[in-house]
Amino acid sequence: MSNRALSLGEAARLVSGTLHHGRDEDTICGVNTLAGSDASQASFLANRKYAGDFEASAAGVILLAEGTLPDTQRPVIRVGDPYLAFAMLQRHFHPDVQASGERHQSATIDPSAVLAADVDVGAQAVIGARVRIAAGSRIAAGCVVEDEAQIGEDCLLHARSVIGAGCVLGNRVIIQSGAVIGSDGFGYAWSGREHLKIPQVGRVVLENDVEIGANSCIDRGAIGDTIIRTGVKLDNLIQIGHNVDIGAFSIMASQVGISGSTTVGQGCQFGGQVGTAGHIKIGDGCKIAAKSGVAGDLQAGGTYAGIPVMPHRVWLKVSALLPRLPGLWSKLTSLGFK
Amino acid sequence: MSNRALSLGEAARLVSGTLHHGRDEDTICGVNTLAGSDASQASFLANRKYAGDFEASAAGVILLAEGTLPDTQRPVIRVGDPYLAFAMLQRHFHPDVQASGERHQSATIDPSAVLAADVDVGAQAVIGARVRIAAGSRIAAGCVVEDEAQIGEDCLLHARSVIGAGCVLGNRVIIQSGAVIGSDGFGYAWSGREHLKIPQVGRVVLENDVEIGANSCIDRGAIGDTIIRTGVKLDNLIQIGHNVDIGAFSIMASQVGISGSTTVGQGCQFGGQVGTAGHIKIGDGCKIAAKSGVAGDLQAGGTYAGIPVMPHRVWLKVSALLPRLPGLWSKLTSLGFK
Amino acid sequence: MSNRALSLGEAARLVSGTLHHGRDEDTICGVNTLAGSDASQASFLANRKYAGDFEASAAGVILLAEGTLPDTQRPVIRVGDPYLAFAMLQRHFHPDVQASGERHQSATIDPSAVLAADVDVGAQAVIGARVRIAAGSRIAAGCVVEDEAQIGEDCLLHARSVIGAGCVLGNRVIIQSGAVIGSDGFGYAWSGREHLKIPQVGRVVLENDVEIGANSCIDRGAIGDTIIRTGVKLDNLIQIGHNVDIGAFSIMASQVGISGSTTVGQGCQFGGQVGTAGHIKIGDGCKIAAKSGVAGDLQAGGTYAGIPVMPHRVWLKVSALLPRLPGLWSKLTSLGFK
């Protein structure tokens, strides 16, 4: 990786920061944690929980926010957002692998599929009829891309992911291992004798720069499409129901479940294990704490928590009072309440 | 799909409804949402949230409940249950694909497996020793059917699903992509030095008309079988522990977890992310709200919610009061309680 | 299985118990539940819920704790822990399958991979470049072991599991079907315009005797490793974030989610659907009830429940009072509170 080594001066320019107490020409060839780094590596202080590791760190340089630890005399690059600067350095040192047009001989590629020349297809992968895959995309071992699916440029499908029939991926989409894009939505009508399955004939559309976590499931629309918009990032083991629409740049931690026909706005942030009802609207920019349950529409810009959700500031008070409920009860009981 | 077009008269008869304000001989060739449909399509009004789309819809005919919008002058087919009627029309327009006996050359089929002549086996699929698969079943790409598993008639295994050794599927069972039928149950005994694994030697039995969602896991019995009875529908990412027994026609939304040896009655409905303890009995016809936690037996026919569950009507009051707890506390504190 | 039949005397010695009311030379050839066993089988009473099945059981002998049912006259083997004794008998009757060096012709094994002579590789499996697999390990059908992964001795990878590039498994590790070891951690930095993906360059290390459940996901470290230590057992559909460290012999039920950089101590027990925040420390020996939410550090040895967690004994009182909250409220309201 030495051919991607950076001088401290180059590193500071790359992250739009300023170098203090360090020599421009010293070099780094990687990034590591404060505790784990050596003199050839940069590190960063982004979470104050790790501030105690700062002085003892052997890092060659440390990415640090403007106002933090103003008196330090060690080499630092001061930046607006150390975590973002860390990301930028890390991307420099670990660039994406480029597609090379390798098609493993054990892969099954339908003759009617149209793949750009440089598309990689891994061992035991299956590419169905009339599939289209654009330039730069890589399909890892064991993936199944079903008939008529379309995959844009520079996508990366990790091992054993499934793209269902007719589903559409934009450019630079990443699918982690085992994810299922285009499973049937959960739709039945009770006939009086059985749950009659309703054919799920819509698609899943993942727009540009979407990432879907390992073993997550995105159901196809019952009619029409399930849409995950530009730049959305979904963690592992997430369930997205049929005809859900998730707004651009929203981000959800693992094990979230969004029920069918719900609309999530742009720029939302969901903690892990959040669940929502179906057929509701969650406004732009909502933040929902881990484990919350959302039963109805939520106004844009709010921060929510609880089951069912309430404003987060209320939830903080409620959750602090819950363990004190038995004491209150005893007191009231002693006064004759019951 | 035009060869399956229906006249409005035929459509009304198919759904046991009556046509109003429409011409018997006009035709439809599909179903769509109120907002998305055109004159060649039927639509339906089943959820009053979408009533506002009714008048503006371009649909050729709309499925409508008997008493709803009594004064409308547009073509409607009045039925007892518009959602069921929609399901019936949709099934007419999108009939199941029939098995054709195609065996992809890249599939691995053990010579001792016995497959009916018309069974389809997709690319890269694996059919183990002494497996039996009955007529009309389709095994999609990348599935693994382990040794001695038995699959009934007209089953559909979507891509990359796994049927574990010795497990049994009835007729018309559908397995969505990535589901695992027959993983080991979670059974260990603490030896004083380690968690000693208990061999899990039972099977999973899925009776007729069961559907299992994408990436769901059904553990095999420790001893004896895990049983999912006739007509049960399980959504994605559901966990069913070893030796669970789920009664006929019960239905569970995604991310539910049922711990080992629990018995669920017939006709139950579980919302998403419900969890239950092990070794309990949940009576017939129970409805359990999303995110609930069930720690003990539940009487048949009840509707429950909360962690731990309480009657749903109580939970509605409790959950409405929780956000008001801080106000009550302030008041009581100001009166000298603490 | 008759060649592994045991006399009652042998069985008693195997489990370090004492035989009462039975003949040393009578034989058993399996283990079953109290209700399901016949005279050729042993059974066990470990959960008092099943005590009612004891007398009616047809079992040839029953494993029973020292003090339980002191007056019974039927053949029993008295032991300290009947469940552990059951596990030991069951392991006798169902020994592990031994690896035999079978390499299915449809598997893809990179020429640079180094596999011990007796390693089994199932149909359609993929073994990447420079992978190392030690003696006695079995790789089932459809697994993907990515480049440079290392697998120790006597491991068992069930169908369609994925071991990501560079990840390391110790000895006797079991991976259930569909599990993903080494998915990318969920790491992004907001650039002002998009969530910039941070390359996840660490590994997953699973130490000896770890078991990972079906469709569970263990993310690789962002920098450095995610570590699951000796003897940890994780159930199905569990999410382990990047750089998590789980202490030896901890055990977690299904659908648990552990957020990134959290440290879990040794010998912890988590119920199903528990979730934890990231960057926290959970002490040794903590027990956390199902569905709990852990937002901060937890002291060693505690038993916790609730969202957010509180001491379990407090939670028991709180949860008992919650359904009575509406009644209290009515009373207070009638007295002029509101």
C194 Cβ under 8 Å from any chain A Cβ:
yes
The total of other beta-carbon atoms located within 10 Å of residue C38's CB is 13
Residue contact C214–B180, C-beta within 8 A: yes
What type of residue is C221? G
Compute φ and ψ for B88, nearest 5 degrees.
-65, -40
C267 Cβ under 8 Å from any chain B Cβ:
no
Chain A neighbours among C 275-334 (CB < 8 Å)? 275, 277, 279, 293, 306-308, 310, 314-315, 317-318, 321-322, 328, 331-332
C-alpha distance from B90 to closest chain C C-alpha (Å): 32
β pairing state of A245-246 and B303-305:
unpaired
Provide CATH code, domain C2-93: 3.40.1390.10
Structure tokens at B253: 């939304």
Residue B178 and residue B195 in contact, taking contact as beta carbons nearer than 8 Å: no
For residue C2, the model assigns a pLDDT of: 47
Q: Determine the 3-state secondary structure of C278 from DSSP.
A: coil
**Starting from the edge strand earliest in sequence, which strands make up the sheet with B150-151, in order?**
B114-115, B132-133, B150-151, B168-169, B204-206, B226-228, B245-246, B263-264, B281-282
C-alpha distance from A180 to closest chain B C-alpha (Å): 7
Q: What ipTM, to 2 d.p.? A: 0.96
C235 Cβ under 8 Å from any chain B Cβ:
yes
Phi-psi region of B108 (alpha: psi -120 to 50; beta: other; left: phi over 0): beta
Residue contact A87–C279, C-beta within 8 A: no
List all residues 6 or more positions away from A136 whose beta carbon is below 8 Å from its beta carbon: A98, A99, A116, A118, A119, A153, A154, A155
Cβ-Cβ contacts under 8 Å, B309 against chain C: none
Query: What is the full DSSP assignment across A109-146?
Result: E-TT-EE-TT-EE-TT-EE-TT-EE-TT-EE-TT-EE-
List all residues 6 or more positions away from A200 whose beta carbon is below 8 Å from its beta carbon: A184, A185, A187, A219, A220, A221, A222, A242
pLDDT(B110) > 70: yes
Catalogue the long-range contacts made by B46-51 (C-beta closer than 8 Å, 24 or more residues apart). Answer: B46/B81, B46/B82, B46/B83, B46/B86, B47/A279, B49/A279
B177 Cβ under 8 Å from any chain A Cβ:
yes
pLDDT(A337) > 80: no
Return the CATH fold of A108-316: UDP N-Acetylglucosamine Acyltransferase; domain 1 (2.160.10)
Please name the residue of chain A whose CA is at the shortest distance from the CA of residue B88.
Answer: A198
Cβ-Cβ contacts under 8 Å, A272 against chain C: 239, 257, 259, 275
Distance CA A13, CA A79 (A): 10
Cβ-Cβ contacts under 8 Å, B331 against chain C: 337
Q: Is A195 annotated as catalytic? A: no
- DSSP letter at C227 equals E
A178 Cβ under 8 Å from any chain B Cβ:
yes
Give the model's confidence band at B1: pLDDT under 50 very low, under 70 low, under 90 confident, else very high: very low
Out of B123, B209, B215, the one facing A217 most closely (by C-beta) is B215
Residue A109 and residue A115 in contact, taking contact as beta carbons nearer than 8 Å: yes
Residue contact B84–A189, C-beta within 8 A: yes
Residue A307 and residue A274 in contact, taking contact as beta carbons nearer than 8 Å: no
C-alpha distance from B177 to closest chain A C-alpha (Å): 7
Cβ-Cβ contacts under 8 Å, B322 against chain C: 325
Cβ-Cβ contacts under 8 Å, A291 against chain C: 275, 293, 307
For B264-316, the pLDDT digits (tens) are 999 999 999 999 999 999 999 999 999 999 999 999 999 999 999 999 999 99
Place of tokens 């060659």: A60
Out of B196, B275, B306, the one facing C87 most closely (by C-beta) is B196
Per domain, the residue ranges of chain C are 2-93, 108-316
For C176-201, the pLDDT digits (tens) are 999 999 999 999 999 999 999 999 99
Residue contact A272–C255, C-beta within 8 A: no
For residue C100, the model assigns a pLDDT of: 97
Please name the residue of chain B whose CA is at the shortest distance from the CA of residue A124.
Answer: B124
Fold match, C2-93 / C108-316: no
Residue B182 and residue B204 in contact, taking contact as beta carbons nearer than 8 Å: yes
Q: What's the pTM value of the predicted model, to 2 decimals? A: 0.97
For B60-87, the pLDDT digits (tens) are 999 999 999 999 999 999 999 999 999 9
Residue B100 and residue B119 in contact, taking contact as beta carbons nearer than 8 Å: no
Residue A59 and residue A34 in contact, taking contact as beta carbons nearer than 8 Å: yes
Tell me the pLDDT of chain C (338 aa) as tens digits.
446 999 999 999 999 999 999 999 999 999 999 999 999 999 999 988 889 999 999 999 999 999 999 999 999 999 999 999 999 999 999 999 999 999 999 999 999 999 999 999 999 999 999 999 999 999 999 999 999 999 999 999 999 999 999 999 999 999 999 999 999 999 999 999 999 999 999 999 999 999 999 999 999 999 999 999 999 999 999 999 999 999 999 999 999 999 999 999 999 999 999 999 999 999 999 999 999 999 999 999 999 999 999 999 999 999 999 999 999 888 888 877 65
The total of other beta-carbon atoms located within 10 Å of residue C296's CB is 12
